[in-house]
Amino acid sequence: MDQLDDIIINIDGLTFTRSGRYIFKDVSIQVPRGKVTAIMGPSGTGKTTLLKLIGGQLRPDAGRIVIDGQNVPTLGRKDLFDLRERMGMLFQSGALFTDMSVFENVAFPLRVHTDLNQSMIRDLVLIKLQSVGLRGAAELMPSELSGGMARRVALARAIALDPDLMMYDEPFTGQDPIAMGVLVKLIKSLNSALGHTSIVVSHDIQETLSIADYIYLVADAQVVAHGTPESLLAEELPKVKQFMQGLPDGPVPFHYPADDYMPSLMHPEGRR
Amino acid sequence: MRIRTLELGVGAFMLAGLLALVVLVVNISGLSLSAPQQSYTLYALFENAGGLTVRSKVAMSGVTIGQVTAIEIDQEALMARVEMKINSDVDYLSYDSSAAILTAGLLGEKYIGITVGGEEEMLTEGDYIDDTQSSLVLEELIGKFLFNKVNEE
Amino acid sequence: MIEMIASLGRNTLARLEALGRSGLFLFHSIVAVPRFRSGFPLLVKQLYSVGVLSLIIIIVSGLFIGMVLSLQGYTILVDYGSEQAVGQMVALSLVRELSPVVTALLFAGRAGSALTAEIGLMKATEQLASMEMIGVDPLRRIVAPRFWAGFISLPILSMIFSVVGVWGGLLVGVDWLGVYEGSFWANMQASVDFGEDVLNGIIKAIVFGFVVTWIAVFQGYDCIPTSEGISHATTKTVVYSSLAVLGLDFLLTALMFGDL
């Protein structure tokens, strides 16, 4: 890997199980500082779980997640909350606080973590809203926004404190093409303008390829491949090829593991 | 504006709670606000103090002037000794006042009724009321009544 | 048979684990007393939605329960010629028993279920998680103000219930059935003691407030974040808090009045 020089997150030997099933098994991932790193993979491979592990909302069964020299799983409650002030996360649903206006949503992190006065908070919030193009919507309530707008407001909220690390959880899912294009542009431009590190979790290949500097492909609880977008596209490994080109069947089977089809049809009482 | 109605609502709510507490204290439990009232202690020995309880009222001509604070057996006299606190402003109970255990209505509570006598000297802290009349015990009353009937025949 | 015992054990363990989790949860939320400057507006807001908005149902129920008590009491007492004791009967049963219990049950249905659903929905829409990621403890920001609001509101509602109930009793007993007003009040005041009756009733309400709000916020926080999970949690809130209130009421009554 070519950007080994400056690593902000170093995940080493990460193992995480949920009800006896491996979500991650001895996974190692390095995230370079100031770049856009994408974690890709089929649905259900625990990509969101990975973000929650990095944010310290879940604890791994084994392994280290080191952010700037701090090992997240061993941090105490206080240190963890301090660390989170330096992270921004865009949730899949946007997760705006429904009882506050757009303005208050974006102002929320500022009010909690800074002692700025009202007019400075107002200016900052308007700057953030302007950067996602929604300054005019400041007085609306979240229920009045479309899905794409809600996600942009959530993005403005996530960058309110100018975090060192931005995490995007499936930012493109369920968006119409226009909103998707806006988000792609925003993630890219915010990353270069604010100079933070971005982690994008997604399975939308085209959009992710267009913004990512480096890609990890996760499947079956393991990193299947990693590299720059170009090198992954050229990859001949069947698993990678199937995912990158969106083939319905291949090494990742179309069918969920089951016993033999014919016998289970003939003898329904044999199963359960 | 929304904030105003919110704060006004909560303020009114708290006020209503306080008001309810005052009503509970003053109107419903009848606790006098000028508590704790100055009082002095008197004792009385009764043959039978059945039905009387701690907190029963002590009244004179139907006006409450104090309350019962303790009921126990007097070891020497082997009678019920009732301790009562009388409000300090009632300082005109003469030495020969009498105390009786009365009932308010047929099913009502027992209380002590005090009747003032004619002596010059007044009862003070720790004195005993000598002239006492015990509770009416229904069984005894019926027994006497039947006994009289039998005697008449 | 073995299967039955095993499932019993599994159930017990799960219950115990939930109890432990809720205890820990309560500890964290209570330790997270809202800081005065930033916490106070949040508390006011919750007092409004938990307390003020429950007023109507409390006042209406209190009025009707007081009226019914008065009517029923009168028809019984009049047989013994002591209908003037109706005031004391209404006041004692309200202050000692009915106000805290009925208020707590209504509160569980009106405010408790709303708290559970609100927090559960916040969890389902990732609002709690995103708040955590912003670096704000949702226990402090979301749960603690709601808990304190419920804890403060219930005793107040219960006192209001008592007063309105006695007023309802007065309406029926004095204005309609013709009990003499003077003896209505005099009997009441002679028999209701502040320390023994009123204060004990308030203590009951405080305990119920604690338990009902605890159950409500915990069920919301601990629910499975799906629509089914939220509806299940809301049901659990109402069922558990009703049972807890009735059970605790017996316990408290035995402790308070048992030796009389």
pLDDT tens digits along C120-146: 999 888 888 888 888 788 888 888 889
Pick the range with the lowest mean pLDDT from A44-53, C40-49, C249-258: A44-53
What is the overall mean pLDDT for chain C?
88
Instruction: Convert the pLDDT of each residue in A38-94 to its tens digit.
Output: 888 777 777 788 888 888 888 888 888 888 888 888 888 788 888 888 888 888 777
Q: What is the pLDDT of residue A1?
A: 44
Percent of chain A exceeding pLDDT 90 equals: 0
CA count, 13 A, side-chain hemisphere, A183: 30
| All partners of chain C with 3 or more CB pairs under 8 angstroms | A, B
Q: What is the pLDDT of residue B35?
A: 52
Residue A185 has pLDDT above 80, yes or no: yes
Which of C160, C204, C260 to probe the B interface (max B CBs under 10 A)? Answer: C160
Which of C128, C130, C132, C226 to probe the A interface (max A CBs under 10 A)? Answer: C130
- Is C133 in Cβ contact with A157 (below 8 Å)? no
Q: What is the pLDDT of residue C23?
A: 83
Pairwise pLDDT comparison (B32 vs A198), residue with the higher score: A198
Torsion angle (degrees, nearest 10) of CA C234, C237, C239, C241: -160
Residues from chain A contacting residue C136 (CB–CB below 8 Å):
81, 108-109, 112
Pairwise pLDDT comparison (C157 vs A202), residue with the higher score: C157
- Is B28 in Cβ contact with C48 (below 8 Å)? no
Q: Which helix (H) or strand (E) holds A17?
A: strand A7-18
Residue C65 has pLDDT above 90, yes or no: yes
Average pLDDT estimate for B39-45: 88
Q: Report the alpha-carbon distance of residue A50 to residue B78 in Å, rounded.
A: 85
Domain residues of chain A, as ranges? 7-266
Q: What is the pLDDT of residue C166?
A: 93
Residues from chain C contacting residue A82 (CB–CB below 8 Å):
135
Pick the range with the lowest mean pLDDT from B134-143, C49-58, C154-163, C164-173: B134-143
- Is B10 in Cβ contact with C185 (below 8 Å)? no
Q: What is the pLDDT of residue B31?
A: 67
Q: Is there a contact between C244 and C126 (Cβ–Cβ < 8 Å)?
A: no
Q: What is the pLDDT of residue C208?
A: 95
Cα A183 to chain centroid distance, Å, stands at: 13
Q: Report the alpha-carbon distance of residue B51 to residue B82 in Å, rounded.
A: 12
What is the overall mean pLDDT for chain A?
81
Cis status, amide bond into A229, omega within 30 of 0: no
Vertex A95: Cα angle to A160 and A59 (nearest 5) = 90
Give, as one character, the DSSP assignment of residue B53. -
Average pLDDT estimate for C233-247: 95
Average pLDDT estimate for A2-18: 76
Q: From B58, B149, B75, B61, select the one nearest B109 (Cα to Cα).
A: B58
Q: What is the pLDDT of residue A3?
A: 46
Domain residues of chain B, as ranges? 1-34, 39-142
Instruction: Convert the pLDDT of each residue in B17-32 to its tens digit.
Output: 999 988 888 887 776 5
Average pLDDT estimate for B52-57: 78
- Is C133 in Cβ contact with A84 (below 8 Å)? yes
Average pLDDT estimate for B114-124: 84
B10 closest CB neighbour out of C52, C160, C192: C52
Find the chain A residues whose C-beta atoms sit closer than 8 A to any C-beta of C: 52, 55, 57, 77, 81-82, 84-85, 87-89, 91-93, 95-98, 108-109, 111-113, 154, 157
Residue B93 has pLDDT above 90, yes or no: no
**B120-124, long-range: CB within 8 Å, 24+ apart, which pairs?**
B120/B94, B121/B94, B121/B95, B122/B91, B122/B92, B122/B93, B122/B94, B122/B95, B123/B42, B123/B93, B123/B94, B123/B95, B123/B97, B124/B40
- Is A55 in Cβ contact with C133 (below 8 Å)? yes
Phi and psi at residue B81, to the nearest 5°:
-105, 120
Q: What is the pLDDT of residue A2?
A: 46
Average pLDDT estimate for C40-57: 89
Runs of H (alpha helix) within chain B: 2-23, 138-152
pTM of the shown model: 0.76
Q: Report the alpha-carbon distance of residue A92 to residue A95 in Å, rounded.
A: 8
Pairwise pLDDT comparison (B139 vs C50), residue with the higher score: C50
Q: What is the pLDDT of residue C125?
A: 86
What residue type is assigned to position B142 of the chain? I
Q: Which helix (H) or strand (E) holds C210?
A: helix C200-222
- Is C131 in Cβ contact with A98 (below 8 Å)? no
Helix, strand counts (H, E) of chain A: 10, 10
Q: What is the pLDDT of residue A272?
A: 47
Place of tokens 């929304």: B2
Residue A136 has pLDDT above 60, yes or no: yes
Q: What is the pLDDT of residue A106?
A: 87
Pick the range with the lowest mean pLDDT from A261-265, B104-108, C14-18, C232-236: B104-108
Architecture of domain A7-266 in this structure: 3-Layer(aba) Sandwich (3.40)
Q: What is the pLDDT of residue C66?
A: 95
Residues from chain C contacting residue A59 (CB–CB below 8 Å):
none
CA–CA distance from C8 to each of B109, C239, C244 (Å)? 53, 21, 22
Residues from chain C contacting residue B55 (CB–CB below 8 Å):
193
* C37 close contact with A: CB closer than 8 A: no
Binding-face residues of C in 113-152 toward A, CB within 8 A: 122, 125-127, 129-137
Pick the range with the lowest mean pLDDT from A7-16, A249-258, C122-131, C133-142: A249-258
* Chains A & C: contacts with CB separation below 8 Å: 51
- Is C52 in Cβ contact with B106 (below 8 Å)? no
Q: What is the pLDDT of residue C36?
A: 56
